Structure 1
Amino acid sequence: MANKTTSTIEILFEKAESYTKTTIELAKLNVIDKTSDVLSSLISRLAIAIVFVMFIFLFNLGLSFWIGEILGNFYYGFFIVAAFYLLISVVLYSYKDQWIKIPVSNFIIRKMIKSK
């Protein structure tokens, strides 16, 4: 009788160990899946942002030269465009949490808790 009880306890421990290993492996795979989903989304958005930044950069050069030509000195156009970006940066700094931090945090959280 003692041998049968010992055998049953050993089987129970083996199954518990197997269950624990499987649960840990599943948790690792879930973390990898969520991390890859978040990173791929961020990288694709970053690629689009880089192309958009290049467009904005070239557009600003053209705009600066055009405004400078209208005002008579090219550097006036660059000063005006720089002042415009200074104004935008002050506004963005004032509302950074509401416009940037919270939406990015919410995006990451939605991606992490999204079920397939």
Structure 2
Amino acid sequence: MPETQDQKPQDIVSLLKEYISTRIELIRLTAIERLTVVVASLITNTFVIVAALLTFLFASLTLAFYLGELLDSYAAGFGIVALIYLAAALAIAFTKEKYLNKYLEDFMVKIIFNKKKK
């Protein structure tokens, strides 16, 4: 009987060491998973944003040239497009605190804490 009592503290210590080791490994793997989700999401989102910006740029140029031909003045066409952008920028500036910031915060939290669907 005394042998089993001596072995119990050793078993508990070895189990505790194993638990700590397993817990550290779990934390490391969870961090790696979250990091890979964020990096993959950033890469794909960057590609989508670049494609959208290029589309927006060419659509803007097309609109400016079209309005320029309608008005017989390319300067007027580009001026109208610039005024449209100014109006959009002012609208965003005045509503960003109420709408845009909350949406972006929620979007980033979803990316960071995204769980893989199984």
| Aligned equivalent of 1:114 | 115
Alignment-mate amino acid for residue 95 of structure 1: T
Alignment-mate amino acid for residue 23 of structure 1: R
TM-score, normalised relative to structure 1: 0.81
Uncovered stretches (5+) of structure 2, i.e. residues with no partner: none
Give the Cα separation in 2 of the matches to 1:40 and 1:99.
26
Give the Cα separation in 2 of the matches to 1:28 and 1:56.
41
- How many pairs are equivalent? 115
Consecutive aligned runs of 4 or more in structure 1 exceeding 6 Å deviation: none
Compute the RMSD of aligned alpha carbons. Answer: 2.1
TM-score, normalised relative to structure 2: 0.80
Contact 1:64/1:77, CA 8 A, preserved across alignment: yes
Uncovered stretches (5+) of structure 1, i.e. residues with no partner: none
| Aligned equivalent of 1:89 | 89
| Aligned equivalent of 1:76 | 76
For residues 6-36 of structure 1, give each alpha carbon's deviation from its aligned partner in whole angstroms, at most 9, with x where no partner exists: 4321221111011011111111111211222
Q: CA deviation at 1:88?
A: 0.6
The higher-RCO structure (CA 8 Å, 6+ apart) is 2
| Aligned equivalent of 1:9 | 9
| Aligned equivalent of 2:41 | 41
Q: CA deviation at 1:101?
A: 2.4
